[in-house]
């Protein structure tokens, strides 16, 4: 275990993981810079410690997962696929790791807001559910979001959040599908969050 910020601890990264740790720090700084926030002080505000945990699992289907562990901590699990460019699907494994971490930070902030961030984006874009199926609304080939953003409003928010930071190249150009209204609205929602609206 190693503390890399006051409220951010990394786990299971050995001495040969220095470049992974740098990528995590770069992702944190990029999010802070783009949204003009400080993730570390957000965590402090909500009395949470974020654990970023490297984990080996055998499934090919998942690269990362964020969950609220208990009252005081949030976990980001980074699985094998996060580190190998999703089994070499993405040419630049380090860029893919960076993008994955930014996406998971979107979920972390959403958790801190008690899911107000993702709810607000759903409302402001007039997206909706019919039973359990999510229908994002917006312009473009994928209704203003990425393919993954169609899964539910949590993923819609995390994807828009990621594209604000990572741009069009995100996930082999999935970034182009997030429309400017969604990006603008995501920035506004984060700004409101920063000033304590939620
Ligand atoms: Zn996600």
User: Distance from the CA of 174 to the center of ligand 1, in angstroms?
Assistant: 14
User: Distance from the CA of 67 to the center of ligand 1, in angstroms?
Assistant: 10
* Interior angle at CA 34, CA 107 and CA 91, nearest 5: 70
User: Distance from the CA of 81 to the center of ligand 1, in angstroms?
Assistant: 14
Quickly list H helices, the chain: 18-35, 39-45, 80-83, 85-88, 93-112, 116-124, 153-166, 170-173, 180-194
Confidence at residue 60, expressed as pLDDT on a 0 to 100 scale: 67
User: Distance from the CA of 115 to the center of ligand 1, in angstroms?
Assistant: 13
User: Distance from the CA of 16 to the center of ligand 1, in angstroms?
Assistant: 27
Tell which residue, 45, 185, 38, has the closest CA to residue 114: 45
Q: How far is 147 from 149, CA to CA, in rounded Å? A: 5
User: Distance from the CA of 101 to the center of ligand 1, in angstroms?
Assistant: 10
Task: Per residue of the chain (198 residues), give pLDDT as tens.
Answer: 999 999 999 999 988 889 999 999 999 999 999 999 999 999 999 999 999 999 988 766 788 999 998 889 999 999 988 888 887 888 888 899 999 999 999 999 999 999 999 999 999 999 999 999 999 999 988 999 999 999 999 999 999 999 999 999 998 889 999 999 999 999 999 999 999 876
Q: How far is 13 from 26, CA to CA, in rounded Å? A: 16
Reported pTM: 0.95
User: Distance from the CA of 21 to the center of ligand 1, in angstroms?
Assistant: 21
* Interior angle at CA 33, CA 31 and CA 36, nearest 5: 100
Q: How far is 37 from 143, CA to CA, in rounded Å? A: 28
User: Distance from the CA of 41 to the center of ligand 1, in angstroms?
Assistant: 22
């Amino acid at each position: 275990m190693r503390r890399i910020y006051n409220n951010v601890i990394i786990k299971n990264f050995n001495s040969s993981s220095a470049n992974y740790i740098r990528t995590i720090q770069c992702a944190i700084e990029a999010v802070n810079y783009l949204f003009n926030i400080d993730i570390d002080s957000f965590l402090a505000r909500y009395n949470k410690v974020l654990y970023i945990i490297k984990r080996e699992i055998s499934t090919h289907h998942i690269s990362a997962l964020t969950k609220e562990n208990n009252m005081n901590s949030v976990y980001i699990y980074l699985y094998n696929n996060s580190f190998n460019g999703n089994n070499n699907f993405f040419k630049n494994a380090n860029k893919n790791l960076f993008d994955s971490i930014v996406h998971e930070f979107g979920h972390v902030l959403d958790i801190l807001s008690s899911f107000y961030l993702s709810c607000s984006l759903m409302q402001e874009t007039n997206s909706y559910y019919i039973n359990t199926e999510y229908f994002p609304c917006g312009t473009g080939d994928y209704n203003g979001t990425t393919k993954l953003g169609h899964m539910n409003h949590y993923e819609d928010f995390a994807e828009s959040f990621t594209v604000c930071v990572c741009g069009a190249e995100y996930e082999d150009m999935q970034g182009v599908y997030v429309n400017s209204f969604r990006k603008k609205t995501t920035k506004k929602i984060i700004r409101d969050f920063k000033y304590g609206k939620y």
